[in-house]
Amino acid sequence: MSHEVVLQADVAGVHGTAHHEEHHHKQSFITKYVFSQDHKIIGKQFLITGIIWAILGGFMSVLFRLQLGFPDTTFPWLETVLGKWGKGGHIAQEAYYSLTTIHGTVMVFFVLTGGLSGTFANFLIPLQIGARDMASPLMNMLSYWFFLLASVVLLSSFFLETGPFSGGWTAYPPLSALGQASDGSKQGMDMWLTALVFFVVSQLLGGLNYISTVLNMRTKGMSMTRMPLSVWGVFLQAVLGVLSFPVLFAGFILLIFDRHFGTSFYLSDIFVAGQILPHEGGNAILYQHLFWFLGHPEVYIVILPAMGLVSEVMSTNARKPIFGYSAMVMSMFAIVILAFLVWAHHMFVTGLNPFLGSVFVLLTLLIAVPSAIKVFNWLTTLWRGNIRFTTGMLFAIGFVSLFISGGLTGIYLGNSAIDIHIHDTYFVIAHFHLVMGVAAFFGMFCGVYHWFPKMFGRFMNSTLGNIHFWVTLIGAYLIFWPMHYEGFAGMPRRYYDYSGWESFKQFISLNKFISIVVIITFTGQFLFVFNFFYSIFKGRKVTNKNPWQSNTLEWTTPIKPLHGNWPGEIPEVYRWPYDYGKDGVDFIPQTTPVGEDESVH
């Protein structure tokens, strides 16, 4: 390719004068891999921490699914492994609630927020906008270390006598405010809060960095509308995070005061264990407002980066421009704005004024519009493409499937008249696991398989990858689809044992089936874990700078870029990133100048 030759010449020409000589210094292992300020290393640190968390979080779900699927069977090994939490071969009640709570917290915050946006915002922003690093590499490093600190604190709560917090990932008071309410509400809750405060700090440090890097440090010619959608995704998620996490933070401050300083922000007139508490005048619903003001944007914080990654991978592998680039960007903007205006759809049954509820119904249904536009654009991007079914591409397509399936049930839930009946049932579990949980995981897998060659200079094994894809896709549908039926039948979420209810006895074998699929699907994830770590050291080597024949800037860096990314000058950008199959040319990288007789996008 002529383009590559030119670039190489460039490198040779400016090398002597490049202001990047400093990076040829020898670095110790500690500064290079541990306290690194290189955005690529920090991205990988987020990724590996995220993977470890995902395994732990997934294992927690296997444990509590054992209880749900086999309430009458004893598993003596549980007692061996878990001690008093597995007494008599059953997951103890308190342990069950802790496991579901920490599973939710870990998956939403530590894996799908920290692990997903932390990995790809860090790894991709500088590489794709043409910057040497983040605006502030130091803050970036601190962002990771606060994340790790948060992780360590949360994990250590497992070693408390009273166990980790057990009141659900949403941590509603009074359960979260009163130590005497349950075992998990004691020190476990303090550690949960500490961990999440550190997590918010990490998100702010990271988010401010992502925003200012994208705004300020784009290379010449990289206007906002020439940015790959993957950068748009992480940029807008950062804006969402910077504006919504502070509200959660404020909510946590009040909660901490309620717990330890005798206030009653969220508490009033309470009896616990036959004891009258002195609290008066507070309102537990206030917490729910503060929580969901973050909580709803949070679900988009999770999904926006995934949407961006999927768009990028899909266009590259369909060898077609993304359909409706500006519609994609506009709908992400619309999502960011609307995400702040729908939070009370989680609170239809809190005694919310029905009129106010109807306003939130309207706004909630509005947010389905940009989501649908995006789905339409993905499908039209695939339409008549020359699709290359790489593993990354499979996961991108799987993402769209899951996002549709889960998004449609969101429209049911968004109508308060229906939601009043299925709120807090398995229908909600099915909805958000498909649309957010598994879909965002698919976005993450799609990104990892696709950018692995850039991260480690080797490929992941695609046979293993494809098996992993099918196991996960089929598994996810088999697990979560049946939960819709359970939800319609009114089966509440967060119960320890359903076998005592006549109405839910019909689901005994269905629950057993779900649990078995959970175990198989969870085991299947080790295909990925093995593939990932094995390929880092033994994977097929990348020999071409641009193995996917992609247009974006990261593929103009050396196969294994050093800190600073480009050995010579940063390349200039002349076109948008989606010139695939234009005028009969398979792909035209962003660094190729626009010819005189060529139409500009």
Residue choice 91, 413, 460, 514 for contact with ligand HEM (CB under 6 A): 413
Q: Which two tokens stand for residue 352?
A: 């919310």
Q: Provide, rounded to whole angstroms, the least separation between the CB of residue 200 and another protein.
A: 10
- Residue from 132, 296, 458, 468 binding Cu ion (CB under 5 A): 296
Per the CB < 8 A criterion, the answer to whether 163 and 85 are in contact is: yes
For 185-341, where are the E strands, in sequence order? 271-272, 275-276
Contact call for residue 246 and another protein (CB under 8 A): yes
- The closest of 162, 244, 158 to 195, measured between CA atoms, is 158
In terms of CB distance, is 16 or 278 closer to another protein? 278
Q: Does 302 bind ligand HEM (CB under 6 A)?
A: yes
Q: Which is nearer to Cu ion, 296 or 458 (CB)?
A: 296
Pick what 368 binds: another protein, ligand HEM, Cu ion, none; C-beta below 5 to 8 Å, kind-dependent.
ligand HEM
**With CB cut-offs between 5 and 8 Å by kind, which of Cu ion, ligand HEM, another protein, none does residue 398 bind?**
none
Q: Return the half-sphere exposure (C-beta side, CA atoms, 13 A cut-off) of residue 140.
A: 29
Q: CB–CB of 259/197 below 8 Å?
A: no
Binding part of the chain for another protein, among 21-29, 32-40, 263-271, 455-463 by CB under 8 A, reads 263-271
* Residue 346 makes contact with another protein by CB under 8 A: no
Sole binder of another protein in the list 48, 148, 149, 243 (CB under 8 A): 243
Distance CA(345)–CA(296), nearest Å, equals 9
Contact flags string 357-376 toward ligand HEM, x per CB under 6 A: -------x--xx--x-----
Locate all alpha helices (DSSP H) within 106-157, ordered by sequence: 116-129, 137-156
Local structure of 541: helix, strand or coil: strand
Taking CA atoms, 427 is separated from 183, 364, 412, 421, in Å, by: 29, 17, 10, 10
- Residue with token string 């400093």: 22
Restricting to residues 195-214, name those near another protein by CB under 8 A: 204, 207-209, 211-213
135 binds, among Cu ion, ligand HEM, another protein, none (CB under 5 to 8 A by kind): another protein
Residue 31 CA: distances (Å) to CA of 27, 151, 541, 594: 6, 22, 26, 41
**Minimum CB separation from ligand HEM for residue 473, in Å?**
18
Does 436 bind ligand HEM (CB under 6 A)? Our answer is yes
The answer to whether 320 and 378 are in contact (CB under 8 A) is no
Stretch that binds ligand HEM, among 197-205, 264-272, 411-419, 557-565 (CB under 6 A): 411-419
Q: Is 410 in the site for ligand HEM (CB under 6 A)?
A: yes
Q: Which stretch binds ligand HEM (CB under 6 A): 57-65, 261-269, 277-285, 425-433?
A: 425-433
Pick one of 423, 458, 468, 575: the residue that binds ligand HEM (CB under 6 A): 423
Output the six-digit token pair for 116: 């997903």
Q: What contacts 8, CB < 8 A, 6 or more positions away? A: none
Query: Which residue in 187, 263, 415, 549 binds another protein (CB under 8 A)?
Result: 263
Residues 195 and 202: beta-carbon distance below 8 Å: no
- The rounded Cα 307 to chain-centroid distance in angstroms is 11
The site map against another protein for 544-583 (x = CB under 8 A) is ----------------------------xxx---------
Stretch that binds another protein, among 222-230, 328-336, 342-350, 452-460 (CB under 8 A): 222-230
Which of ligand HEM, another protein, Cu ion, none has residue 458 at its interface (CB below 5 to 8 Å by kind)? Answer: none
Select from 54, 63, 101 the least CA-distant residue to 525.
Answer: 54
Other CB atoms within a 10 A radius of the CB of residue 78 amount to 21
CB closer to another protein out of 136 and 415:
136
| H or E, element range at 441 | helix 439-456
Residue with tokens 């922003």: 125
Q: Which does 364 bind (CB under 5 to 8 A by kind): another protein, ligand HEM, Cu ion, none?
A: ligand HEM
Using CB under 8 A, pick the residue from 44, 90, 218, 484 that binds another protein.
218
Q: Which is nearer to another protein, 291 or 441 (CB)?
A: 291
Residue whose token pair is 């974006």: 552
148, 411, 519, 559: residue in contact with ligand HEM (rule CB under 6 A): 411
Question: Residue 246, exposed/middle/buried by CB under 10 A (0-12, 13-18, 19+)?
Answer: middle
Per rule CB under 6 A, is residue 407 in the interface with ligand HEM? yes
Would you state the structure tokens that stand for residue 464, as one six-digit string? 């293993």
Does 220 participate in binding another protein (rule CB under 8 A)? yes
Strand partners, 272: 275
Number of residues that bind ligand HEM (CB under 6 A): 22
Q: Does 435 bind ligand HEM (CB under 6 A)?
A: yes
Binding residue (CB under 8 A) for another protein from 244, 316, 377, 521: 244
305/232 Cα distance (integer angstroms): 8
* 183 interacts with ligand HEM by CB under 6 A: no
Cα–Cα distance, 386 to 135 (Å, whole number): 38
Closest CA to 268 of 281, 255, 277: 281
Q: 176 or 316, CB closer to ligand HEM?
A: 176
Rounded-to-integer distance, Cα 481 and Cα 430, Å: 7
- Residue partners of 492: CB distance under 8 A and separation at least 6: 424, 425, 426
Q: Taking CB within 5 to 8 Å according to partner kind, which of another protein, ligand HEM, Cu ion, none is near residue 436?
A: ligand HEM
Q: Give residue 455's Cα distance to chain centre.
A: 19
Interface region with Cu ion, contact rule CB under 5 A, candidates 174-182, 294-302, 380-388, 469-477: 294-302
Residue 287 neighbours by CB distance under 10 Å? 25
CA distance 157 to 305: 30
CA distance 293 to 244: 7
Least CB distance to ligand HEM at residue 314 (A): 18
Could you tell me which stretch among 47-55, 90-98, 426-434, 469-477 binds ligand HEM (CB under 6 A)?
426-434
User: Which residues of the chain form contacts with another protein (CB under 8 A)?
Assistant: 2, 129-130, 135-136, 204, 207-209, 211-213, 215-224, 226, 242-247, 249-251, 253-254, 257, 261-265, 278, 280-283, 286, 290, 293, 572-574, 585, 588, 592-598, 600
User: Which residues of the chain form contacts with ligand HEM (CB under 6 A)?
Assistant: 170, 299, 302-303, 345-346, 364, 367-368, 371, 407, 410-411, 413-414, 419, 423, 428, 431-432, 435-436
User: Which residues of the chain form contacts with Cu ion (CB under 5 A)?
Assistant: 296
